[in-house]
Amino acid sequence: MRSYHIITFGCQMNERDSETLAGMLEAMGYVRCEDPKASDVVILNTCSVRENADKRFYGVLGQLKHSHEDRPGMIVAVCGCMMQQQAVIDTLKEKYPWVDLVFGTQNLQDFPRLFAGVKASGKNLIELPEEGGALPEGLPSKREYGFKAFVNIMQGCNNFCSYCIVPYTRGRERSRHPEDIIAEVKALAADGCKEVMLLGQNVNSYGRAKGEVAEKGYIASRDEPHISFAGLLREIDAIEGIERIRFMTSHPKDLSDDIIECFGELKHLCRQIHLPVQSGSSKVLKEMNRVYDRDQYLALVRRLRQACPDIAISTDIIVGFPGETEEDFEDTLSLVREVEYDSAFTFIYSVRRGTPAASREDQVPEELKHERFDRLIDAIHEIQERKSLAYQDQIVPVLVEGRSKTDQSMLTGRTEKNKVVDFPGDDSLIGTITDVRITKAQTFSLYGETV
């Protein structure tokens, strides 16, 4: 049988796009293969947020060259955010001319047509249309899990943080119609899905692309999204069968009181939020064009904990942004200790060509970036260890996801607050929400037994 393999770099939105590509291929009669070098079709879905992802992509692509040469008819396609950058396209033309198909984030829905064109002609094809237009609906999908699912609610970003390439690769904000989102979630629930993760570059601004909306309720026609993000959360919370709702990413500048109130009011909204801060220095935040300062961010944290006292908060932090001083970095450390994040995704600043920050002359030396990064990690780990120890002997509901990748004798799953728990059990528990008593609490993971 004809086979395919998809390699995904980057965020959950890329993972969701890869599920759509897999659905398209299976509709064409292809089956998934675990070995990319033995597959008839290989797609690399790329990410442009960090330099490390760029390097990994080119490394993997280079490894496929010999397989492509040795297996006539094998098709290698590349897509995703990196393809929206002209410098990348130029590199592909110069160093990887054997790649069969190149497409981007704006024409994912055209993959079957593009693929058929390459198959019929035997010629390479690059197609990168201009951004815009309504987000496509009704595309096939091969979901990774049956019991939890990613649901895109919007695409693009209007914020133009000075370090970020995403607005240039994903385009301006475009929101799906609420009726389409709700219909998708209802269909997932009917198929046994228990948890949905609502995705967007900035979910808090859902529905605002064509003008501000009221914080509650429907206000316009189907010609444009007509519900706020808080209103959408309330609609999804009422869908029978959905037991957990998560969302990301959430920009602090658009985190409204109505969204915050949802954490205290909605039955199925998980008591967990990812709220990227990026820096604890107001000066650096201004230079990043984040449109909030340190005090405003901390005020949001206080309001979240007033609405939901035991809410878990995770974040993103960039170390070594151009011009960052020792005082700026100390502000980040002090904010981390004040907020006491449950988890944090930490990054060393990576120059992204085409962004304002890339052209600055006050780049922080690499050695200093790494030294600060290590100090930040130490502070975060100290907090995480203390928070994890608080789970000892507690009984927590866990959505069981499957066998542990590190120990096949154990099942693994996540708590409502997104903590990983490993415990012994049989496969009949996969896809269920099961009560687990924590018997061993460690910094990054918990171990337990069913009760």
Q: Which amino acid is at 357?
A: A
Q: Which amino acid is at 116?
A: A
What is the full DSSP assignment across 371-391?
A: HHHHHHHHHHHHHHHHHHHTT
pLDDT, tens only, 67-108:
999 998 999 999 999 999 998 999 999 999 999 999 998 899
Average pLDDT, the chain: 92
First to last CA, the chain: 44
Element (DSSP H or E) covering residue 422: strand 420-424
Which domains can be identified in the chain, with CATH numbers?
3-127 (3.40.50.12160), 148-389 (3.80.30.20), 395-450 (2.40.50.140)
Identify the sign of the CA torsion 11, 12, 17, 18. Answer: positive
What does the pLDDT average to over 441-448?
91
Q: Would you say residue 219 has pLDDT above 50?
A: no
Question: Taking CA 197 as the corner, what is the angle to CA 182 and CA 53, rounded to the nearest 5 degrees?
Answer: 130
Cα–Cα distances in Å, from 311 out to 211, 250, 262, 385? 31, 15, 12, 17
280 near 334, Cβ under 8 Å? yes
pLDDT for 27: 96
Kindly indicate the confidence band of residue 136, based on its pLDDT and cuts at 50, 70 and 90: confident
Distance CA 216, CA 256 (A): 11
233 near 262, Cβ under 8 Å? yes
What does the pLDDT average to over 16-39?
96
Distance CA 276, CA 273 (A): 10
Kindly indicate the confidence band of residue 48, based on its pLDDT and cuts at 50, 70 and 90: confident
pLDDT, tens only, 272-285:
999 999 999 999 99
Kindly indicate the confidence band of residue 196, based on its pLDDT and cuts at 50, 70 and 90: very high
- The 8-class DSSP code of residue 197 comes to E
pLDDT for 174: 87
SS3 assignment, position 402: strand
HSE-up (13 A, CA, CB side) for residue 275: 29
147 near 193, Cβ under 8 Å? yes
Distance CA 246, CA 266 (A): 12
HSE-up (13 A, CA, CB side) for residue 276: 22
The tokens describing 441, both together, are: 């609490």
pLDDT for 212: 39
- The 8-class DSSP code of residue 253 comes to G
What does the pLDDT average to over 404-424?
95
* pTM value > 0.85: yes
What does the pLDDT average to over 349-361?
92
Portion of the chain with pLDDT greater than 70, in percent:
95
Cα–Cα distances in Å, from 118 out to 63, 76, 222, 332? 22, 10, 37, 50
Place of tokens 């171990």: 447
140 near 164, Cβ under 8 Å? no
Kindly indicate the confidence band of residue 19, based on its pLDDT and cuts at 50, 70 and 90: very high
Distance CA 129, CA 2 (A): 29
pLDDT, tens only, 146-183:
999 999 999 889 999 999 988 888 888 888 989 999 99
Burial 3-15 (b: 16+ CB within 10 A, else e): bbbbbbbbbebbb
The residue among 392 and 207 whose pLDDT is bigger is: 392
Relative to beta strand 195-199, strand 148-152 is: parallel
The tokens describing 13, both together, are: 């939105």
Q: Using CB atoms within 10 Å of the CB of residue 213, give its burial: 0 to 12 exposed, 13 to 18 middle, 19+ buried.
A: buried
Place of tokens 């796009």: 17
Portion of the chain with pLDDT greater than 90, in percent:
82
pLDDT, tens only, 111-128:
999 999 999 999 999 998
44 near 81, Cβ under 8 Å? no
Q: Would you say residue 145 has pLDDT above 50?
A: yes
232 near 153, Cβ under 8 Å? yes
Cα–Cα distances in Å, from 88 out to 26, 94, 104? 29, 10, 12
- The 8-class DSSP code of residue 297 comes to H
Find all residues with CB under 8 Å of 151, minimum gap 6, and list them: 16, 181, 184, 185, 188, 196, 197, 198, 199
pLDDT for 90: 94
